[in-house]
Amino acid sequence: MADAQSRIRNFCVIAHVDHGKTTLSDRLIELTGTVALRQMREQLLDSMELEREHGVTIKARAVRMAWTARDGEIHELNLIDTPGHVDFNYEVSRSLAACEGALLLVDASQGIEAQTLANAYLAIEQGLEVIPVINKIDLPSIDLDVVREDLRTTLGFKDEEILLASGKTGQGVAELLHAIVERVPPPKGDPSAPLRALIFDSHYDAYKGVVAHVRVVDGLLSADDRILPMATQKPSEMLELGVFTPEPRPVARLAAGEVGYAATGLKAVADCRVGDTLTLESRPAESPLPGYRPAKPMVFAGFYPQRAEDYPALRDALEKLRLNDASLIYEAETSQALGFGFRCGFLGLFHLEIIQQRLEREYDMDLIATSPSVEYRVITQKGDEVAVDNPAMLPDPGTIEEIREPWMKTTLITPTNYVGPIMDLAQNKRGTLLEMTYVDPTRAMLKYDMPLSEVIVDFYDQLKSRSQGYASLDYEFGEYRAADLVRLDILVAGTLIDALSVIVHRDKAQHIGRLLVHKLRGLIPKQMFDVRIQAAIGGKIIASENVSAKRKDVIAKCYGGDITRKKKLLEKQKEGKKRMKMVGSVEIPQEAFLAVLRIKDEP
């Protein structure tokens, strides 16, 4: 067995978004003959439609490959794919924990970016052998020396450690495979110890239940074993044990050091969570592998169906999505303005967008999503701490001693000529500059502490537009801090619209209030009466505008057959009314909610 382990290499590819990870992974699979050329689908590892569209990997897959090393020995190489976005940091860390080595990919034309560093640090912290690779060397007008300098100064690599490759042409790829065999250490698990297998990913399959992607660390897993996830304690009879080649192929057993999948028959990924340890019910391990923590949502929003009758369909859709995504949480909530819906929690803004798009595309839902919110910690005068993720639920200001909000440690990397505008942006977002260093002579790295509530409103878009797309961002949770926050309410004809309430910094309340009121004025159609639109903080009006009453709405000419035609116009008008929400006596079109909720926090 120990001999078998010595010919196993478990590795992953880590990179910033768009640095060519998927293309290179496909090339590795192709070159090892794992998939015949004609079977190659472009970008094999990204199997979800949305992933293709976003160009990022959401769900990791593991592929077993065979590679003949320079010494003639055939090795088993397991490529473990990692999610490529900042919101999925924890998932990345679990994928890394399943490996002994990592290829760190850097785009030859872009150099090191914020997530290159974040991922590289994660890999180094976990003691992985990191092989730096400059990718896309086929591109014209690239300067390899600058990228080498990036790798030297920021991560301390030596020039001779750095490999060159092109995922597109295949140049240098064989050299990478040799380097993996030669530099990445083999697994070192105890084959005779009780089973401990790390669940580094899972997905839901309609026929096989939750399929856990596992790396066996210690012991042996056989197809007829009864398994037990140690955190959730839900034992099950396996339906299938196998490896991805990359098509799933059943095997009789997975030994220490090996990577594969276990079809658990469990009904939801929440029962078999990423980061948990799988052991045997008959001979459980004493302690789980380190590092498990349940997914913790950071960003919250209310999702409401545009038509009230779609509520059950929305509930079913969320249920199905959650089967595959343990980090998505939701609970029913009611808004006076929007009716029945769900408050949902996400890992980050990007995660929120993916879920929203999947609901809209795969489940054909027409949604109204409220402004994203973070989880505030409210300290009451009695000394209690209350978590608030919905502005409408903020307690009476009179009872509040202090409001705390989450702050993020934020890393920005940008070409030096955009440093000015980006510092303005960060400052406008209440960021505190901690450090500014140079990655190379042309690019700076800025470290900020910044409130998450500012990061999730338009920060990424602004960052990209102010740097013409060149700046990159990474963030992780830092701490909760007290802040001077207020709830900004919107009133239409004297009625508070709960769905439009936002928690904002007091200094910005006036500006945002005016903006919201002005935008709404343009979106609320004239009614039979004047309609006053106001923004208020704790009952004090800070902005106000008026929609004057409708004066004329009549089909004046109606003879003979006109009624037939004119009724069609009225039917249309009625349809329009149906799509509106009645708030008090005012009809507010859905578009008004949608547009207001999309409002940007422009300075």
* Interface stretch with other proteins, choices 151-159, 491-499, 517-525, 551-559 (CB under 8 A): 551-559
Q: Which two tokens stand for residue 512?
A: 């945002």
Query: By CB under 8 A, is residue 141 in contact with other proteins?
Result: no
22 in Cβ contact with 105 (< 8 Å) = no
* Interface stretch with other proteins, choices 33-41, 100-108, 492-500, 556-564 (CB under 8 A): 556-564
> CB-wise, 296 or 567, nearer to other proteins?
567
Q: Which of 188, 361, 567, 579 binds other proteins (CB under 8 A)?
A: 567
Give the Cα separation of 595 and 90 in Å (integer).
33
Q: Which of 226, 249, 577, 598 binds other proteins (CB under 8 A)?
A: 577
Backbone CA torsion sign across 166, 168, 174, 180: positive
* Interface stretch with other proteins, choices 392-400, 473-481, 490-498, 563-571 (CB under 8 A): 563-571
Query: By CB under 8 A, is residue 582 in contact with other proteins?
Result: no
* Nearest Cα to Cα of residue 273 among 99, 80, 94, 97: 94
* Nearest Cα to Cα of residue 103 among 199, 200, 187, 172: 172
* Nearest Cα to Cα of residue 17 among 48, 45, 58: 58
Query: By CB under 8 A, is residue 383 in contact with other proteins?
Result: no
Give the Cα separation of 297 and 343 in Å (integer).
12
* Cα 245 to the center of its chain, rounded Å: 27
User: What HEC string does 321-372 produce?
Assistant: HHHHCCCCEEEEEEECCCEEEEEEEECCHHHHHHHHHHHHHCCCCCEEECCC
Query: By CB under 8 A, is residue 553 in contact with other proteins?
Result: yes
Bridge partners, residue 496, by sequence: 491
Q: Which of 528, 579, 582, 603 binds other proteins (CB under 8 A)?
A: 528
Shortest separation between residue 19's beta carbon and other proteins, angstroms? 51
* Nearest Cα to Cα of residue 49 among 58, 39, 40: 58
> CB-wise, 293 or 567, nearer to other proteins?
567
Shortest separation between residue 311's beta carbon and other proteins, angstroms? 16
> CB-wise, 538 or 576, nearer to other proteins?
576
Q: Considering CB under 8 A, how many residues would be counted as binding other proteins?
A: 24
Shortest separation between residue 439's beta carbon and other proteins, angstroms? 56
Shortest separation between residue 563's beta carbon and other proteins, angstroms? 6
State the number of CA atoms in the 13 A half-sphere of 517 facing the CB: 26
Shortest separation between residue 555's beta carbon and other proteins, angstroms? 6
> CB-wise, 188 or 568, nearer to other proteins?
568
Query: By CB under 8 A, is residue 555 in contact with other proteins?
Result: yes
Q: Which amino acid is at 502?
A: V
Residues that bind other proteins (CB under 8 A): 528-529, 548, 550-561, 563-564, 567-568, 570-571, 573-574, 577
